[in-house]
Amino acid sequence: MRVRGVRLVISDAHAGLKAARQSVFNAVPWQRCRVHFMRNVLCRVKREAQGFVSATLRHVFDQPTLKEARAAMRDAVTLLKEKYPSAATTVEDAVEDVLAFKGFPSQHWRQIHSTNPLERLNKEVRRRTDVVGIFPSDASALRLITMLLVEQNDEWAVGRRYFSLESLAALDVLGRGTAATEALPAVEAA
């Protein structure tokens, strides 16, 4: 089975997730979650320095282009190296991974720079399954979770579009000239 139409994989830097991305999606770019990245960097500096380091990195992410963001990241690494070498190394090692979202149309950046939408969905699944407590069978749990996911898909597709059709038109979904608004089967047999 192969997943089709995937243009970007977003996750934290967990080694298992990175390995799974490589084996399942092969050459698809990877976006390291900005929120997790910031936590990884900030845990390497003293509490009193976290505001400074955070502001320095926010400046990088606020850049309007990938080229400018890379330059700002280099400047940030230089700035951090003297006082916070461990944080600087973490930043330096993650430049391409944490800036991958900048290779997409700017109207998508807010949605694809972190795993927050997925984490919100997971929180909602936990909330709804906690209400039930104990499921009579695995099938009943699967039914509830499947319906929650269908409901969320409908919300993202119709109610509160995750991406507008106009912004999707800026993407070449398959990399072969296929219109972004055409329906794509999400999974195909290998």
pLDDT tens-digit series, residues 95-137 = 999 998 898 888 888 888 888 888 888 899 999 999 888 899 9
Give this prediction's pTM. 0.71
Domain ranges of the chain: 2-112, 116-159
pLDDT for residue 107: 82
pLDDT for residue 174: 34
Residues 84-102 as b/e (b if ≥16 CB within 10 A, e otherwise) read: beebbebbeebbebbbbbb
More confident residue, 167 or 66: 66
pLDDT for residue 31: 87
Q: What is the mean pLDDT of the chain?
A: 82
